[in-house]
Structure 1
Amino acid sequence: MAAPSDKAFPVSWDQFHRDARALAWRLAGAGPFEAIVCITRGGLVPAAIVARELGIRLIETVCVASYHDYHEQGSLQVLKDVAPSIRAIGDGRGRGVLVLDDLTDTGKTAQVVRAMLPDAHFATVYAKPAGRPLIDTFVTEVSQDTWIYFPWDMGLSYQAPIQPGTSG
């Protein structure tokens, strides 16, 4: 994805919590899942919410760095692979494992993790068209040129109106 555009989608903590719970509702019939693998860092928050809602206690991380400057998606780097104990679940290919992230953008991160766990169920809270084919379950689709501002990346500040000159 290119640098943030004028199409901004700011997500509050309340909204993200509601969306993550909606994801859990959709996932409730897709399991059972023995474990969650969250893609860090964005997958940490939805993993906590989904794990609570679905009663999943085994949570693992896979650490993939892609947005090195918060604006441009660069080359992918696996910082931490999935634990062998997770790979051993089910058929050894991820069956029974739920992989979670906050967003699929280009799908590059999902491709890397799907190669590790090809039979896992992949879910994100938000999906963009380029990454959507790699995801099994998501809640909200946004356009490819929309930049999502997650609550953990923001402070409270003024937001300019969409149409200039309409404030106040």
Structure 2
Amino acid sequence: MTGPQLPHEKGFHISWDQIHRDSRALAWRLDKHGPGKDGSWRAVVAITRGGMAPAMIVARELDIRTVDTISVKSYHHQTQGKPMVLNKPDGEMMGDGEGVLIVDDLVDSGKTLHLVRDMYPKAHFATVYAKPKGEPMVDTFITGVSQDTWIFFPWDMALQYVEPYRGTD
């Protein structure tokens, strides 16, 4: 072995089809589990930017028309730093978060969700993918991945040749 792996060397590549299927599965798991008398949710809030595509799909599948975003910056390229809120939804609509689904693509360390959970403690936090360190911060997720896996989402990708994981033949 020639040293530590770079993030792309243990990568989990997600296609548009896969994120769509997994986001629909997330919606189905959340269906009829809201606090409304019929199990409904009153709003979906996407954590930008990664949560926008899954949130759109969840909102469509569950017929939720109130959709908003909270902008949290925690990464600079592939390095995670201290998360900070850049923009947030209307406070009156959000309240303490009860009945609101907060959706993101991935929970990694849990720092972003911890920050948002402090703001909206009664919201339901749902991600498509979850790493072990972040799992305690999420209420519902679809697929668990190892902490050392770097997930490549389709909105970050371009098609090109990639060397095999092992060997070159």
Structure 1 Cα separation of the partners of residues 112 and 41 of structure 2: 21
Which residue does the alignment assign to 2:81? 74
Unaligned runs of 5+ in 1: none
Which secondary structure state, in structure 2, belongs to the residue aligned with residue 156 of structure 1? Answer: coil
Residue correspondence of structure 1 range 127-166 to structure 2 within 5 A: 127-166=130-169
Q: Deviations over 1:127-151 (max 9, x none)?
A: 0000000101000000000000000
Counterpart residue identity of residue 91, structure 2: P
1:63-88 Cα deviation digits (max 9, x unpaired):
000112x211012121012312322x
> What RMSD over aligned residues (CA atoms) do the two structures have, in Å?
1.4
* 1:125 equivalent among 116, 120, 128: 128
Distance 1:82 1:107 in 2: 20
Q: Secondary structure at the match of 1:152?
A: helix
Deviation at 1:3, TM superposition (A): 6.1
Conservation of the 8 A alpha-carbon contact between 1:5 and 1:145 = no
Contact 1:99 / 1:121 at 8 angstroms: preserved in 2?
yes
The amino acid across from 2:59 in the alignment is: A
Cα distance in 1 for partners of 2:114, 2:44 equals: 17
d(CA) in 1 for partners of 2:115, 2:64: 24
Number of matched pairs: 160
In structure 2, list runs of 5 or more residues that go unmatched.
35-39
TM-score normalised by L of structure 1: 0.90
Residue correspondence of structure 1 range 8-87 to structure 2 within 5 A: 8-31=11-34, 32-68=40-76, 70-87=77-94
Over the matched positions of the two proteins, sequence identity in percent amounts to 57
Paired amino acid for 2:97: G
